Structure 1
């Protein structure tokens, strides 16, 4: 039985080569790590917590939005990964797209205002290759992030050396991609297999949850993800706490550190959530990551700033540990 409702016919779409697109960002913005003269005190504390978590073999989780990729912070993250200070990375679907385009062509990001006007936004042939990569990886039982990292690395794409996904794959660090169907430009394409995207991304969610089983004495960091990061973290934490409470012997997952870096102007004391009458109440990273999930034993820190400033500061603090 099929739906009684009309579905859009994707065969009507015109998908153009990326050579026809004007990209706004290229690999020239990707910085070589440079020590910061000043480091926010909270980032020094978190760097120390990461080193302690590494020693205890606890989780060191980084969650990011796509603007981290577009800010040129890759080499800072590579070094933190190589030092063992990050052992899991959770991202949204846009991160996979920007990382793949960087690796393939050395450039990414289209002008939305320009291409939405003529209906061409997102409809680029080479970017659509990700749908095939995801589908093929899914048939092999891979998560979405692993499939992309494996493809970039094993096919030695022209700019694979600046791919976060490839670097993580080579280091054995899971990159879990938490896709929302219809959120990403590759979902516009005629070759998108929604079942494969969903299955591969759900597999990544279970990989992410498995990483949180080691969160006691660990660290979870969120750079610039207002919805994906706090939501997957909340559900996965509920799962691992439930399993820990029902284990023999019982375990607890309460003593850990959270960090949020974003541009919201939060009060100095982030240990209490905003009232429902305040718009900031609906900023999920605050109430979820900085208050509710650390209320019974954890510690939380918030640093306001652009990624191009906060990530180098965290790296600088960690470099001497």
Structure 2
């Protein structure tokens, strides 16, 4: 032990410095101060980098695509998403099949998210009549007109004012009204409306295929843009990876893209198919893990403060 070699602590690289520490909150302070006083360490660094990437894409008029599962709608984030679309910050949106169900029910009744545990034993789970009948009707009408599933449901909600008194809180209706690409990517059998007799597999498949190609076209043009995966652990990460591949196969380089995974817990597919694989040719992938109802408002407030 007497031959052990040491060196001065000052010469060692340290990852944490007091300049990076948080500052105590002062009562009556402003939100931008709260953001500035967060510790410049780990997830806060990621939060700031992601916000900067979104701001940079917005200022350069590059796409900011939101891939969103159903949970963000269920935890009350629709008004934030709608505000960001109205501001021109979110320029395209993709949902999984469950997303349209909760968006539809919010627009129809102003409430959603049934108690599955209370209904599963009786066979009542997923059997709300209006949800199955009207959504399947919207999809069938959309298929007949050659529409994608997102546009079909969005137009259906937006055009029926008396039926959907809360349509102003529908992300699908808002996107359709603003002319923002909104796509829906369905796995047959995963959504409650597939259990209803009005479900038309050909219509669902045709509309969802239109939407995959629509999303692929948007992704092909996202050089310099941002893709956010918010709360989809499986479907949208898989769809996004294929859209990136299709775009590159058709000659779009996609070497300068930012991808972000925002989920409740780490999952293999979002980390692999959103953060790592699409950016290995060029770009940066980030992971912001946490509760959607906290992390997404915090991120978007940071974006708006930087734009201010």
* In the alignment, structure 1 residue 316 sits paired with structure 2 residue 298: no
Residue number among 283, 290, 308 corresponding to 2:275 in the alignment: 290
* In the alignment, structure 1 residue 90 sits paired with structure 2 residue 94: yes
SS at match of 1:259: strand
The equivalent of 2:22 in structure 1 is none
Structure 1 position 186, deviation (Å): 0.5
**Cα distance between partner residues in 1 of 2:303 and 2:82:** 13
Q: Are 2:70 and 2:102, in contact at CA under 8 Å, matched by a contact in 1?
A: yes
SS at match of 2:261: strand
Structure 1 position 48, deviation (Å): 2.1
The equivalent of 1:241 in structure 2 is 248
The equivalent of 1:25 in structure 2 is none
**Cα distance between partner residues in 2 of 1:78 and 1:44:** 22
SS at match of 1:108: coil
Q: How high is the TM-score relative to the length of structure 2?
A: 0.83
**Cα distance between partner residues in 1 of 2:138 and 2:253:** 39
* In the alignment, structure 1 residue 226 sits paired with structure 2 residue 233: yes
Q: Which structure has more RCO (C-alpha within 8 Å, separation ≥ 6)?
A: 1
Q: Which runs of 5+ in 2 are unaligned?
A: 1-29, 39-43
Q: Are 2:230 and 2:261, in contact at CA under 8 Å, matched by a contact in 1?
A: yes
Structure 1 position 109, deviation (Å): 1.4
The equivalent of 2:144 in structure 1 is 139
Residue number among 281, 300, 309 corresponding to 2:285 in the alignment: 300
**Cα distance between partner residues in 2 of 1:105 and 1:79:** 21
**Cα distance between partner residues in 1 of 2:87 and 2:109:** 28
Q: How high is the TM-score relative to the length of structure 1?
A: 0.79
Q: Are 1:35 and 1:312, in contact at CA under 8 Å, matched by a contact in 2?
A: no
**Cα distance between partner residues in 1 of 2:85 and 2:127:** 33
The equivalent of 1:162 in structure 2 is 169
Structure 1 position 301, deviation (Å): 1.1
- CA deviation map 1:278-321 (0-9, x unaligned): xx6xx111122221211121111111211111111111111121
* In the alignment, structure 1 residue 149 sits paired with structure 2 residue 163: no
Q: Which runs of 5+ in 1 are unaligned?
A: 1-33, 245-250, 266-279
* In the alignment, structure 1 residue 64 sits paired with structure 2 residue 56: no
Q: Are 1:130 and 1:148, in contact at CA under 8 Å, matched by a contact in 2?
A: yes
The equivalent of 1:19 in structure 2 is none
Q: Are 1:178 and 1:205, in contact at CA under 8 Å, matched by a contact in 2?
A: yes
Match runs of 1:105-124 below 5 Å: 105-124=109-128
Displacement over 6 Å in runs of 4+: none
Structure 1 position 123, deviation (Å): 1.2
SS at match of 1:158: coil
The equivalent of 1:15 in structure 2 is none
Residue number among 215, 220, 223 corresponding to 2:222 in the alignment: 215
Larger Rg computed on CA atoms: 2
**Cα distance between partner residues in 2 of 1:201 and 1:189:** 18
**Cα distance between partner residues in 1 of 2:89 and 2:176:** 16
The equivalent of 2:47 in structure 1 is 43
Give the direction of change, closer, same or farther, for the CA distance of 1:237–1:161 in structure 2 (3 Å limit): same
The equivalent of 1:174 in structure 2 is 181
**Cα distance between partner residues in 1 of 2:179 and 2:187:** 25
**Cα distance between partner residues in 2 of 1:227 and 1:304:** 15
**Cα distance between partner residues in 2 of 1:207 and 1:104:** 27
**Cα distance between partner residues in 1 of 2:299 and 2:167:** 25
**Cα distance between partner residues in 1 of 2:239 and 2:269:** 11
